[in-house]
Amino acid sequence: MSLLQGDDLAAVLLSLKVAAVATVVGLPLALAVAYALARWRFPGRALLDAATHLPLVLPPVATGYALLLLFGRSGVIGRLLEKIGLPLAFHWTGAALAAAVMAFPLIVRPIRLSIEAIDREVDEAARTLGAGPIVRFLRITAPLASPGLAAGAVLGFAKALGEFGATITFVGAIPHETLTLPTDIYQATQSPGSESRALVLCVIAAVIAVSAVLGADAVQQRLARWREHG
């Protein structure tokens, strides 16, 4: 008898899709927030910093409940999204939103550190040569911060892949719709006689996470060689 059930492969594929979407959608916003926190001084900066890191200190269930209140079918934002055909509650898109929210602080942190490590004089020199803010960001800041971008993407993907508390609170565990790999593992641990199945699922999750880290390391090495010869 196979150790895995019919819904397990669907859960793995759904988790990959959710983690990928959460990372891709969260990365541009994380870059903007990281740049603002690293380079700008403005009223409310401390509040933005606190809000960015809030998912790290709140219980995931509390975050999921907050998402349910805001984006659920009875929530203010959720009702509007339902009207335009973008449901979130009890839908895989909601799982991606929950994963993105929980992963966001881990994406922002390495990007912010990379931007803070860039010498401001480099940016100032480009500005005196006539380069505008967009050109300086695209030609100087983004390339120099690329290791932080890669690290943030990997951390965000790994966190999104393993997100459980906020996801199950917000979207539940509907097979082929919101049943992600972590929820599938949890259900396997609660089912008598499914210990081997839970172990196999854990190994699959570990393999995916390690592959993501190795892939990011290869990308960082290629970026480093590109900067050296660019």
Instruction: Give the distance, in angstroms, between the CA of residue 68 and the centroid of all CA atoms in the same chain.
Output: 19
Reported confidence tier of residue 230, pLDDT bands at 50, 70, 90:
low
Q: With beta carbons less than 8 A apart as the criterion, state whether 39 and 206 touch.
A: no
The domain ranges of the chain are 14-179
Q: What is the pLDDT of residue 20?
A: 95
pLDDT tens, position by position, 83-137? 888 889 889 999 999 999 999 999 999 999 999 988 888 877 877 877 777 888 8
Any idea which architecture 14-179 has in CATH? Orthogonal Bundle (1.10)
Mean pLDDT of the chain: 87
Return the percentage of the chain with pLDDT > 90, whole number: 49
Q: How far apart are CA 199 and CA 21, in angstroms?
A: 26
Complete DSSP assignment for 44-88? THHHHHHHHHHHHHS-HHHHHHHHHHHHSTTSHHHHHHHHTT---
* Of the candidates 109, 227, 89, the residue with the CA atom closest to the CA atom of residue 159: 109
Q: Encoding tokens for residue 15?
A: 């988790």
Q: What is the pLDDT of residue 228?
A: 64
Residue keyed to tokens 């401390």: 46
